[in-house]
Amino acid sequence: MLPSLDELLGTAHVVALPLITRFRGLESREALLLRGPHGWTEFSPFAEYDDAEAAVWLRAAIDFGWHETPALLRTSVPVNATVPAVAPEDVAGVLARFPGCRTAKVKVASSDQTLADDVARVRAVRAALGPEGRIRVDANGLWNVDEAEHALHALAGFDLEYVEQPCATVEELAEIRFRTRYMGLPIAADESVRRAEDPLAVARAGAADILVVKAQPLGGIRSALALTAEAGLPVVVSSALDTSIGISMGAHLAAAIPELSFDCGLGTAALLAADVTAEPLVPVRGRVAVRRVTPDAALLERHAAAADRRDWWLERLARTRALLAD
| pLDDT one-digit tens code per residue, 114-125 | 999 999 999 999
CB atoms within 10 A of CB 100: 13
Which percentage of the chain shows pLDDT scores above 90? 95
Whether residue 23 has pLDDT greater than 80: no
Q: Distance between CA 306 and CA 296 in Å, rounded?
A: 19
CB atoms within 10 A of CB 307: 9
Active site residue 214: yes
Exposed e or buried b per residue across 249-268, where buried means at least 16 C-beta atoms within 10 angstroms of its C-beta: bbbbbbbbbeebebbbbbbb
Of the candidates 207, 203, 167, which has an alpha carbon nearest to the alpha carbon of residue 186?
A: 207
At residue 311, the 3 state secondary structure works out as: helix
DSSP 141: T
Q: Distance between CA 91 and CA 96 in Å, rounded?
A: 9
pLDDT (0 to 100) of residue 18:
96
Q: Is 132 annotated as a binding residue?
A: no
At residue 31, the 3 state secondary structure works out as: strand
Q: Which CATH number does the domain 76-289 belong to among 3.40.250.10, 3.20.20.120, 3.30.413.10, 3.30.70.2190?
A: 3.20.20.120
Whether residue 2 has pLDDT greater than 80: yes
Q: Distance between CA 111 and CA 51 in Å, rounded?
A: 27
Q: Is 326 annotated as a binding residue?
A: no
pLDDT (0 to 100) of residue 21:
82
Active site residue 105: no
Q: Can you list the positions of beta strands (E) in 70-208?
A: 76-78, 81-83, 103-107, 134-138, 160-164, 187-189
Whether residue 10 has pLDDT greater than 90: yes
pLDDT (0 to 100) of residue 38:
98
Average pLDDT, the chain: 96
- The rounded radius of gyration (Å) of the Cα atoms in the chain is 19
The CA distances from residue 149 to 136, 145, 155, 158, 317, in Å, are 16, 6, 10, 15, 41
At residue 66, the 3 state secondary structure works out as: helix
Domain boundaries in the chain?
Answer: 5-70+297-325, 76-289
CB 237 within 8 A of CB 265: yes
Distance, CA of 137 to chain centre: 14
Structure-derived torsion over alpha carbons of residues 167, 168, 171, 174, reported in degrees to the nearest 10 = 30
pLDDT (0 to 100) of residue 121:
98
Secondary element (H or E) of residue 21: strand 13-23
What single string gives the DSSP state of each residue in 257-300?
Answer: -S---S-BB--GGGGBS--SSSS----BTTEEE-------HHHH
| pLDDT one-digit tens code per residue, 58-75 | 999 999 999 999 999 999
* Superfamily covering domain 5-70+297-325: Enolase-like, N-terminal domain (3.30.390.10)
| pLDDT one-digit tens code per residue, 130-153 | 999 999 999 999 999 999 999 999
Which percentage of the chain shows pLDDT scores above 70? 100
CB atoms within 10 A of CB 120: 16
Q: Which of 107, 136, 303, 321 is catalytic?
A: 107
Q: Is 112 annotated as a binding residue?
A: no
pLDDT (0 to 100) of residue 1:
82
| pLDDT one-digit tens code per residue, 157-195 | 999 999 999 999 999 999 999 999 999 999 999 999 988
| pLDDT one-digit tens code per residue, 236-265 | 999 989 999 999 999 999 999 999 999 999
At residue 41, the 3 state secondary structure works out as: strand
pLDDT (0 to 100) of residue 262:
97
Residue type at 177 in one-letter notation = R
Query: What is the CB-side half-sphere exposure of residue 52 using CA atoms within 13 A?
Result: 3
Angle, helices 51-66 vs 307-325, to 10°: value is: 80
pLDDT (0 to 100) of residue 22:
79
Q: Which of 214, 222, 303, 316 is catalytic?
A: 214
pLDDT (0 to 100) of residue 194:
87
Q: Distance between CA 186 and CA 208 in Å, rounded?
A: 7
